[in-house]
Amino acid sequence: MADGRERRPMDLDATQAVKTLHACIQKPMCSRCVLLVTGGPVGHSDSQNQTWALRVRTTRPRGLLPHDLQPSPCTRAADVHVVVQRACQSASVLDGTVDMDMPLAHAGIDSLGTIEVLSTIAERTGVVLRNVAADITPAQLAVRVVAQCNSPNAHETVGKHDQHPLACTTVALGRARAAPNVRLTKPMIFVWSSIRSGSSLLQLSLNAHPQLYAGQELYLLMFETMGERQSTLATLRGFEEGLVRTFMDLKDLDAEAGGLFVENLGNKFPTWRVYEIMQTACAPRLLVDKTPMNAGSQYTVARARELFADVRTVHLIRHPLPTIKSGLQLRRDILGEQGVTWDDVEASWRTTNARLRIDDPHALLFRYEDFLASDTAEAHFMRLCSHIGVPFHHGMLDPYANESAIRSFYPVRDVASTDPKLLRHTSRQTHKADDWKRAARALMPETLQVTAALGYNTGVLLGAGHASLTLLRAGSIDRRVYVVHDFTGAVPADFAKHFHAADCCCFGIELTAEAVQGCKYITDLAVRYVRALEPVARDCAVLLVGISFGCRIAYRMAQILATTSRDVRLGLLDGPIGPHGPARMGGMVNAVHDALLDHQPVAALHDHEHAKDRRDVARAVAAVKAQRDARASAALIVLADDEPAVTAPLDVRARYYSATHSFNHSNGSVDTARQCVRDLEVVEVDSTHFAIHTMDALSSLCELLV
């Protein structure tokens, strides 16, 4: 159309609508869509044309009933059943109706899909479900929802998932009226992100591009009308100023005139018309909307494609550790949300980023760390510019040098609608690209799964650096396996792939320099590891697996956990666990220890009385020096000396995998294990000691969790 809008192709007269509806009913529909048939005047939203017709469109499910008839959060069992079934069908990668008695994992719903299901249930019923196993069925989910709705403590869970006013708008809750029957045709750019992901710096960099206008946060997409926006933002200081500043820039107005312009739009003025005005005013530049709260709801994200014919989207991500830390500071110290916790902000980061990969799979995944680092910024900005359809501009690399770009972020009155720290700097803080490496905080397994899915290294420091936790394999969070490193301090990266027959979440516990410092015995290290794991290993059975030298650490960890009545199981891969084995576990480890401390060159190790294979020793030494502090690994080896004796057998389920080609057969490790563990099963594996972790036989390890 000449006015820059695109007529929707499904506007039909009554006869055509009936024929189309009949044809649609005869065909199976996509599991992610439902058919909505609405009546209303065709054409512009304020048109006087009273010719009525049916509008037929497909969209994601928005509820069971018309929005004015929506039930209260404590819904009837039949309604909850339908909500859960539709949520599962939307998340499943399989076609057809989801069997309510089939486990989620078998119904084509992976870990990210499960998060989408739980998010949808929370949005439609107000009930937040936690600790959901992959083998739970949709029917069991529905039972849990109804039980929580009608429990005496229902007020503690219903609606608890997000009470922020911007999460309760008509668009965010999926209660908005159908989008207008026209779409704006000018290209529109949206940046999706969770809060504190570096989006303000990215926005400033985009604003330094001569073909883009990317001012302050607009807080527009989640509202239907300007009246709803005004009433919601009235209690949120500074949130309304971004739109005023935008019109000041685009129409060359002062603060008073800009405020009057927005006010005079009127309460009934639709927000999509405001976008139309801004796009026209900033032409030929393209308009960019970077408002983190836009990403808080799947319906708000979907609204973008309902309003614009040409949407170009960017999904900005940042490692969860610094993002959550900064988000907690923002919400507590700046927004005044004193009751918010780390877990609340972590859940928000996890849910937002997992859902965005599902709700907008076409968005460009863009990492904060990549565009911030000086050596990679240009290449990644070129990739971003190509995606949004503009040529690369070098000014994006140093946006603080562009006074015009900076001016858009000045506050209208006292608080700008953007990161309050943005203009305190005079250049990009490139060192912040490594903030996640300096953080020391446990993350929940569900968060680590999303972190890994987004391509981040999940080696997260725990307990003030007293361990490093790495996600090796995603799976059911109720079946957790923690693999303890060998004498090198590392866990083989391919270890968990042999758990193909088991749905479990597998993590590697790896050595840090801080962990071993000050330790005298293996028990001291085990105590630190247990303390570090407490926040992420709670409320479920735990399987500890030790590899070679790690058997000693895993055994001591199991002893500690058993005293706290924790449900712990033990897997031992061809290594001694008691103090009766040889000092430092034998000549091979002695040789590596000496080489790490440069007591003798690797080339001379063939003269060592216990060295089995000089090449294996050389490879081990090289691997340790490449991956971690060599002296820390050397100190770890020494901890095995003079270990206190085991006073009583450990009463846990345990399995010992013994390599048939192993020096452990000659040093009595199996016999020692039988003395130290009451319920021990020994499995002979046709392998060498150094290759035992690669054997498919280990897939049976997770049987210990059953």
Rounded to 10 degrees, the C-alpha dihedral 356/358/359/360 comes to 70
pLDDT of residue 626: 52
Closest by Cα among 79, 92, 67 to 169 = 67
Question: What confidence tens digit (pLDDT) does each residue in 499-554 have?
Answer: 665 677 788 888 877 788 788 888 888 888 888 776 666 667 788 999 888 888 99
Measured from the Cβ of residue 15, the count of other Cβ atoms closer than 10 Å reads: 10
- Domain count for the chain, please give it: 4
Residue 73's domain spans which residues?
67-161
Which residue carries 């908005």 as its tokens? 176
pLDDT of residue 344: 84
Does 81 map to a domain?
yes
Residues 148, 208: one domain? no
Of 454 and 340, the structure prediction assigns the larger pLDDT to 454
CATH number of the domain to which 376 belongs: 3.40.50.300
Does 617 map to a domain?
no
CATH number of the domain to which 537 belongs: 3.40.50.1820
Question: What confidence tens digit (pLDDT) does each residue in 643-697 have?
Answer: 666 667 888 889 998 887 765 544 567 888 888 888 899 888 888 777 777 777 7
Question: What confidence tens digit (pLDDT) does each residue in 416-462 have?
Answer: 777 777 878 888 888 787 776 665 566 777 788 888 888 887 666 55
Closest by Cα among 406, 543, 418 to 478 = 543
Annotate 576-602 with b (16+ C-beta within 10 A) or e (fewer): bbbbbbbebbbbbbbbbbbbbeeeeeb
Residues 77, 43: one domain? no
Q: Residue 83: what residue type? A: V
Residues 134, 272: one domain? no
Closest by Cα among 188, 63, 78 to 126 = 63
- The rounded distance, in Å, linking the Cα atoms of 476 and 497 is 15
DSSP of 74-137: S--HHHHHHHHHHHHHHH-SS-SPPPTTS-GGGGT--HHHHHHHHHHHHHHH-PPP-S--TT--
Residues 372, 223: one domain? yes
Of 156 and 555, the structure prediction assigns the larger pLDDT to 555
Alpha-carbon Rg for the chain in angstroms: 30
Task: For residue 68, name the pLDDT band (cuts at 50, 70, 90).
Answer: very low
Question: What confidence tens digit (pLDDT) does each residue in 179-219 have?
Answer: 777 789 999 999 999 988 999 999 999 999 999 999 999 99
pLDDT of residue 506: 82
Residues 344, 397: one domain? yes
Domain limit, last residue, from 430, 450, 467: 430
DSSP of 464-481: TTTEEEEEEE---TTSEE
Question: What confidence tens digit (pLDDT) does each residue in 369-419 have?
Answer: 999 888 889 999 999 999 999 999 999 999 999 998 999 888 887 667 777
pTM listed for this prediction: 0.58
Domain limit, last residue, from 19, 35, 59: 59
Residues 79, 228: one domain? no
Q: What is the mean pLDDT of the chain?
A: 75
Does 609 map to a domain?
no
Q: Is the pLDDT of residue 55 over 90?
A: no
Per-residue CA distances from 546 to 311, 573, 634 (Å): 51, 6, 18
Does 611 map to a domain?
no
Residues 300, 344: one domain? yes
Domain limit, last residue, from 59, 75, 105: 59
Annotate 458-482 with b (16+ C-beta within 10 A) or e (fewer): bebbbbebbbbbbbbbbbbbbbbbb
Average pLDDT over residues 331-349: 78
Rounded to 10 degrees, the C-alpha dihedral 494/502/459/421 comes to 140
Question: What confidence tens digit (pLDDT) does each residue in 225-268 have?
Answer: 999 999 888 877 778 889 999 999 999 999 999 999 999 999 99
Does 650 map to a domain?
yes
Residues 375, 519: one domain? no
Residues 277, 411: one domain? yes
Residues 424, 524: one domain? no
Tokens of 353: 């980023």
pLDDT of residue 247: 95
Does 569 map to a domain?
yes
Does 435 map to a domain?
no
Residues 271, 407: one domain? yes
Does 44 map to a domain?
yes
Residues 472, 406: one domain? no
